[in-house]
Amino acid sequence: MARDVAIIGIGMSSWGELWELSLRDVFVKAALAAIEDAGVDRIDAMYIGNMSAGLFNGQEHLAALMADYLGTDAIPATRVESACASGGLAVKLGFMEVALGMSDIVLVGGVEKMTDVGTNDATYALSTAADQEYEVYQGITFPGLYAIMARAHMDTYGTTREQLAQVAVKNHDHGSLNPIGQYPFKITLESVLNSVMVADPLRILDCSPITDGAAALVLCPLELAKKISKKPAVKIIGVGHATDSIALHSRNDITSLPATAKAADMAFKMADVNIKKIDLVELHDCFTIAEICVIEELGIVEKGKGGTAATSGLTRLGGKIPVNTSGGLKSKGHPVGATGVAQVVEIVTQLRGDAGPRQVEKARIGLTQNMGGSGGSTLVHIMEVI
Amino acid sequence: MARDVAIIGIGMSSWGELWELSLRDVFVKAALAAIEDAGVDRIDAMYIGNMSAGLFNGQEHLAALMADYLGTDAIPATRVESACASGGLAVKLGFMEVALGMSDIVLVGGVEKMTDVGTNDATYALSTAADQEYEVYQGITFPGLYAIMARAHMDTYGTTREQLAQVAVKNHDHGSLNPIGQYPFKITLESVLNSVMVADPLRILDCSPITDGAAALVLCPLELAKKISKKPAVKIIGVGHATDSIALHSRNDITSLPATAKAADMAFKMADVNIKKIDLVELHDCFTIAEICVIEELGIVEKGKGGTAATSGLTRLGGKIPVNTSGGLKSKGHPVGATGVAQVVEIVTQLRGDAGPRQVEKARIGLTQNMGGSGGSTLVHIMEVI
């Protein structure tokens, strides 16, 4: 790698049903917040993660649009897409742009405006992350795909319906401490277990919501960060990116997420750390079962033991390795293209010691895991405060 | 830049109305052709340009899907989008991946399958490259936007209706020598002037068609290329990328394309050449007026003089600087996400001396210009045979 890369600015729009704002407004709010946080007066290049503004908003060509509305000077601007991992992918490419020396000050953003269409249209748009020809045409939706994974995990490893619910309870406990989220309140085990069935065994409170929102970062070379920023420099020390079959039925084992294992392995190798060195994790809990599978793939628990982690307190604030202190996708919301960037915003907030009531003590190294579809693509980043 | 980057493989699917093939089939055909041409037995990473498979095919998450169907080993795969410049953007990012040393052997592809929807839906999908809220909601389509540019160019510089038509005639003359194209036959001045009106002054034969197709490249470090390829190595010596207002009405001068001028300037500086050193150009003739404006921005002719180039023979095969020897978007077709990659395929074919009846003699340096929307984003690449 040519140059070390630091994160010197973070920003978020509010997250929720933002009917008073357009797609471009939502993005620009987050971008300006990150630029202000970084204290820079220019941007040299931009990467933006977005899954499907074409279907949600009738708008492609997003990077040029956002660069224009942000008032930049005709900079190179790139939109990337990897379904719900689009934000994480934008982080990777921004890292590359700075590491390679193509640009010094790079804005990385993610945005999705999902509530401008009705629920059926949103479900359809999200289904385009699966294999249209072999999965979606058969009638399956994303809750259905993750329900299959959940049922298989229950059958194979004895994971219980209550353990799934405990993931949602934990993440809402964390989210109640994060006012920027869409649903920043606690929920109870009973409310999850009695909520409306979506796709057996998953109920509505096992599912992340449909959200409007954006998140943004400012990256620059570490050497420059030390000169221009008074805040603690957060260095990106590990980057991992892998793919898998997009269709669930093509996997050898539908309780596993090999792309997550592979991306994590790449990031750990690059960072020269292992899971024991990680102080906190933001991961892709699009459904409660996803968090259970992902903590297994990351090596936080052994394969098959993911169900017990939320219950035992291992992954709670105050536990050995807190997971989703932001509230996760479940409580904070899941504007799909923004999620991977917002995960990094939470890690930087924690590593700076700015997380207030949800602060993880002595947090020095954090990890994000952002995944597309039913695990067809995954990005992992590891960050360390310098 | 860390490493020099060479193109060692090129491939195309057939282009046209490919109703017997699915989106993934079209891409895989081009990718396998490029891999075979390169003679490699593995791919380390992939970048794929696609504008709107979401709207055309109900499929996002394209990079993971294509990596899977190509049979790769769970490689990092990235889809990029910049409207009709998506292919050129994929070329830039593939270049970065190799230059940075992230990967050695990188597949760059572009694909669009546009004929699976009706003409109205295709026109809507294409309109998402413009500003939905300020342009498209007012009822304008892309032929309309370029018609405004054409009328302004005619009013300001005296460009004639016949000069527009001569661009189409020239590109079909070239395209008649390229059997892979969608419409590989000659057309006459009279046929253009008498063809159906689309948006005054542009008629149907001023417009590039709706096309299914894919194109692909294999990139690797130049040093490695010399070891593993017997074909002439083609080095990427210049890369330029710039944006502009996405909405036409926000421009100071609607006959100009500042993003093209800026991207070309970046690429010329990096390559340390000027337009006089360029032996041939593939540029974005989505409408005849576009070629006229682009040759002005590239400095092939003075501002306002673009109308005379096709008529004088300057940009014809055998002329001083042949433009669109492949037939251009007009004759070869315009599967929007594939176009920027296919332009590079043509330049490499020419620089290798493999262009048969349309070969440009002593071609050593070639340039591609690929643009999104009405010029809101532009990629320029310069390549030299070593």
From A22, A24, A54, residue closest to B54, measured CB to CB: A54
Q: Give strand ranges (E) for chain B.
A: 5-12, 45-49, 77-81, 106-113, 197-199, 202-203, 212-221, 234-243, 280-282, 365-372, 377-385
Confidence of residue B73 (pLDDT cuts 50, 70, 90): confident
Q: Percent of chain A at pLDDT above 90?
A: 98
Q: What angle do CA B378, B383, B386 make, to 5 degrees?
A: 170
Confidence of residue A301 (pLDDT cuts 50, 70, 90): very high
Residue B123 reports pLDDT greater than 90: yes
Confidence of residue B310 (pLDDT cuts 50, 70, 90): confident
B77/A89 Cβ within 8 A: no
Active-site residue among B84, B207, B220, B293? B84
Q: What angle do CA B207, B208, B212 make, to 5 degrees?
A: 150
Residue B2 reports pLDDT greater than 90: no
Which pLDDT score is estimated for B317? 97
Q: What is the mean pLDDT of chain A?
A: 97
Confidence of residue A294 (pLDDT cuts 50, 70, 90): very high
Residue B1 reports pLDDT greater than 90: no
B346: nearest Cα among B299, B279, B290: B279
At residue A284, the 3 state secondary structure works out as coil
Q: What angle do CA A46, A47, A48 make, to 5 degrees?
A: 120
B241 bridge partner residues: B379
B48: nearest Cα among B212, B234, B214, B213: B214
Residues 6+ apart with CB under 8 A from A144: A199
Structure tokens belonging to residue A228:
């221009």
Which pLDDT score is estimated for A167? 98
Which pLDDT score is estimated for A310? 83
Confidence of residue A104 (pLDDT cuts 50, 70, 90): very high
From B54, B67, B96, residue closest to A100, measured CB to CB: B96
State pLDDT tens for residues A175-233: 999 999 999 999 999 999 999 999 999 999 999 999 999 999 999 999 999 999 999 99
DSSP structure string for B19-72? TTS-HHHHHHHHHHHHHHHHT-S--SEEEEE-S-HHHHHS---HHHHHHHHTT-
A77/B377 Cβ within 8 A: yes
Q: Which of residues 229-268 of A touch B (CB under 8 A)?
A: 241-247, 250, 258-259, 262
Domains (range + CATH), chain B: 5-118+210-234 (3.40.47.10), 140-208+236-385 (3.40.47.10)
Structure tokens belonging to residue A364:
């020095």
Structure tokens belonging to residue A12:
């978020």
Confidence of residue A125 (pLDDT cuts 50, 70, 90): very high
Q: Which of residues 15-54 of A touch B (CB under 8 A)?
A: 22, 24, 51-52, 54
Half-sphere exposure (CA, 13 Å, Cβ side) for A161? 13
B241/A76 Cβ within 8 A: yes
pTM for this model (two decimals): 0.98
Residue A255 reports pLDDT greater than 60: yes
The mean pLDDT value for A34-49 works out to 97
Which pLDDT score is estimated for A109? 98
The mean pLDDT value for B67-87 works out to 96
State pLDDT tens for residues A219-229: 999 999 999 99
Q: Which of residues 71-100 of A touch B (CB under 8 A)?
A: 72, 74-83, 89, 93, 96-97, 99-100
State pLDDT tens for residues B222-233: 999 999 999 999
Which pLDDT score is estimated for A73? 84
Smallest CA–CA distance from B92 into chain A, residue: A78
The answer to whether B334 is a known catalytic residue is yes
With contact defined as beta carbons under 8 Å apart, do B370 and B343 qualify?
yes
The mean pLDDT value for B136-153 works out to 96
A130/B58 Cβ within 8 A: no
**In Å, what is the CA distance from A17 to each residue of A184, A356, B241?**
14, 25, 35
**In Å, what is the CA distance from A164 to each residue of A171, A223, A288, B172, B296?**
12, 44, 6, 62, 62
- Expressed in percent and rounded to 5, the helix, strand and coil fractions of chain A are 40, 20, 40
Which pLDDT score is estimated for A339? 98
State pLDDT tens for residues B3-38: 999 999 999 999 999 999 999 999 999 999 999 999
Residues 6+ apart with CB under 8 A from A103: A44, A45, A76, A97
Structure tokens belonging to residue B248:
């036409």
Our CA-based measurement puts residue A245 at a distance from the nearest CA of chain B, in whole angstroms, of: 5
CA distance A135 to A305: 29
Residue B50 reports pLDDT greater than 60: yes
Q: What is the mean pLDDT of chain B?
A: 97
Chain B residues with beta carbon closer than 8 angstroms to that of A99: 100
Contacts across the A-B interface (CB distance below 8 Å): 188
The mean pLDDT value for A58-68 works out to 97
Smallest CA–CA distance from B59 into chain A, residue: A128
Residue A1 reports pLDDT greater than 60: no
Q: Percent of chain B at pLDDT above 90?
A: 98
A1-5, A248-252, B123-127, B350-354: range with lowest mean pLDDT: A1-5
Dihedrals φ, ψ of A118, to 5°?
-75, 170
Smallest CA–CA distance from A24 into chain B, residue: B133
State pLDDT tens for residues B176-191: 999 999 999 999 999 9
The mean pLDDT value for B122-145 works out to 95
Residue B215 reports pLDDT greater than 60: yes
Task: Indicate which residues of A carry an active-site annotation.
Answer: 84, 334
**In this structure, what DSSP letter does residue A25 have?**
H
| A367 contact B CB<8A | no
Confidence of residue A306 (pLDDT cuts 50, 70, 90): very high
Q: Percent of chain A at pLDDT above 70?
A: 100
The mean pLDDT value for B294-301 works out to 98
Active-site residue among B174, B284, B334, B381? B334
At residue B134, the 3 state secondary structure works out as coil
The mean pLDDT value for A304-309 works out to 96
Smallest CA–CA distance from B244 into chain A, residue: A74
Confidence of residue A126 (pLDDT cuts 50, 70, 90): very high
State pLDDT tens for residues B340-378: 999 999 999 999 999 999 999 999 999 999 999 999 999
Which pLDDT score is estimated for A283? 98
What is the number of H-type helices and E-type strands within chain B?
14, 11
Which pLDDT score is estimated for A2? 82
Phi-psi region of A152 (alpha: psi -120 to 50; beta: other; left: phi over 0): alpha
Smallest CA–CA distance from A378 into chain B, residue: B76
